[in-house]
Structure 1
């Protein structure tokens, strides 16, 4: 999917909402456990109820890896269902990969080619040769961890090196990598005050912004400092939407929360 296609969908839906599909069998409605594939049954119901309200879905692969082969099969069925029924929706494999070049090449193939995701999250710690294999795929996107929403982000990401914070070095250096136009970046909503500085370095790149909702990030603040002429933001909410209810009406409850966020986004876009 091209960036322009994503922008078109944002404008069409008046939404820049990304819904995280982080499926925990201990949290999903218990009646789904009788299904042959409870994880896929849960995802399908959430997708069917919310696809018109969001422009992206983001399965966190840890929640599938934890269930072994069956979990991977559920992930594969989920991405196949999305690509077949909602090809206009941007898909993100939240895998946080990044290793030496040959290994990264295989990770990239697995998520961007074999599974058919539009993008994958990647850690930058090992440098350009660990990231560039992901950037080789046409119309696919690599979402680089830049400034994350967790408390531990302050352990390294905001430390100064040669007079600048480490995350700023990551942003600046990554722009010199081959096919850097295929880069997007993760910036946590709980770090909204950093967005003005970030936009001086990457003024037009799309940002995947987790942390709105359960983690306490503020949508208005994120948009104030991070929005571009083409919006440039994908605001992710996971637990706050998909676990809005754990009864048989869970999908409708998820849609209500997603609609509230979408309406808030529409108001911002139409100011």
Structure 2
């Protein structure tokens, strides 16, 4: 998917919502667990009810990998029922030496046909650039994440006082462009989003941490939105586990609609 196509969907739906498919077999409603493929049934119902409001879906690969070979088959089936115009993110956080990264890229871009994959930058250019060789595919690079442990490395400053995440932002712009490179920027770091936006004014951000993790959608838009929106705000637990009962899909729809309405106001205000 191209940047123009993604922005077109954002304008069409008045939404920059990404629904995270963190499909935990231990958390899905009990009545689904008797089905042949309970994770697929769960994701299918969520997708059908939220597709009107979402511009992206982000399957967390770990929840599928943990199920073994069946999990990979389920992931492929889930990917195939996501509407073609909706952006897809393989939340895999890959990052290895070049020849291995190239095979990861082939797996997610050629074999499974995801639009994007999350990638860790720690091993440098040769671990990231193989993912950038595919037309109309995206790398979503971990920059400033919302987990507590992010402070262990990402905020370490060099002798000039520059935090490591800023070095990642600067260096990675030599590898990709706003047409194929996004950044993960956590919503719980609201005070730093403006600094990230200043460093990479034209790139899209994938923003986790809104909702269950306490991030503010207003702050994310205030400090992170650019002229083409530039944001995909992810909500996982707050949507897909809004109910643990038989009405889980309707509850997910209601939560997605609430976020979309807030996003419409913010888009109208900032664009």
**Hey, what's the Cα distance between the residues in 2 that align with 1:180 and 1:18?**
19
Q: Residue 28 and residue 40 in structure 1: after superposition, are their counterparts in 2 closer, same or farther (change >3 A)? A: same
Q: 1:228 aligns with which of 216, 222, 226?
A: 226
Q: Is residue 188 of structure 2 the alignment partner of residue 154 of structure 1?
A: no
Range moving further from structure 2, 137-146 or 170-179 = 170-179
Aligned CA-pair RMSD: 0.9
**Hey, what's the Cα distance between the residues in 1 that align with 2:262 and 2:80?**
30
**Hey, what's the Cα distance between the residues in 2 that align with 1:202 and 1:104?**
24
Q: 1:95 aligns with which of 84, 92, 97?
A: 92
Structure 2 match to 1:118: 115
**Hey, what's the Cα distance between the residues in 1 that align with 2:159 and 2:174?**
19
* SS of alignment partner, residue 42 of structure 1: helix
Q: 2:236 aligns with which of 235, 238, 244?
A: 238
> For the Cα contact (< 8 Å) 1:56–1:91, is it kept in 2?
yes
Range moving further from structure 2, 204-213 or 25-34 = 25-34
**Hey, what's the Cα distance between the residues in 1 that align with 2:175 and 2:218?**
32
Q: 1:140 aligns with which of 137, 162, 165?
A: 137
Structure 1 match to 2:127: 130
> For the Cα contact (< 8 Å) 1:157–1:165, is it kept in 2?
yes
With structure 2 as the length reference, what TM-score do the two structures score? 0.97
* SS of alignment partner, residue 152 of structure 1: helix
Q: How does 1:16-31 map to 2 (within 5 A)?
A: 16-31=16-31
Structure 2 match to 1:53: 53
* SS of alignment partner, residue 136 of structure 2: coil
**Hey, what's the Cα distance between the residues in 1 that align with 2:242 and 2:178?**
37
Q: Residue 59 and residue 76 in structure 1: after superposition, are their counterparts in 2 closer, same or farther (change >3 A)? A: same
**Hey, what's the Cα distance between the residues in 2 that align with 1:100 and 1:213?**
35
> For the Cα contact (< 8 Å) 2:187–2:216, is it kept in 1?
yes
Unaligned ranges ≥5, structure 1: none
**Hey, what's the Cα distance between the residues in 1 that align with 2:131 and 2:104?**
8
Measured against aligned partners, the alpha-carbon deviations of 1:43-75 in whole angstroms (never above 9, x if no partner) come to: 000000000111000000001111111111110
Structure 2 match to 1:267: 265
> For the Cα contact (< 8 Å) 1:120–1:141, is it kept in 2?
yes
Q: Residue 180 and residue 267 in structure 1: after superposition, are their counterparts in 2 closer, same or farther (change >3 A)? A: closer
Measured against aligned partners, the alpha-carbon deviations of 1:193-214 in whole angstroms (never above 9, x if no partner) come to: 1111111210010000000011
**Hey, what's the Cα distance between the residues in 1 that align with 2:22 and 2:70?**
15
> For the Cα contact (< 8 Å) 2:3–2:179, is it kept in 1?
no
Structure 1 match to 2:196: 198
**Hey, what's the Cα distance between the residues in 2 that align with 1:54 and 1:270?**
17
Range moving further from structure 2, 206-215 or 189-198 = 189-198
**Hey, what's the Cα distance between the residues in 2 that align with 1:236 and 1:141?**
17
**Hey, what's the Cα distance between the residues in 2 that align with 1:179 and 1:188?**
21
Structure 2 match to 1:250: 248
Unaligned ranges ≥5, structure 2: none
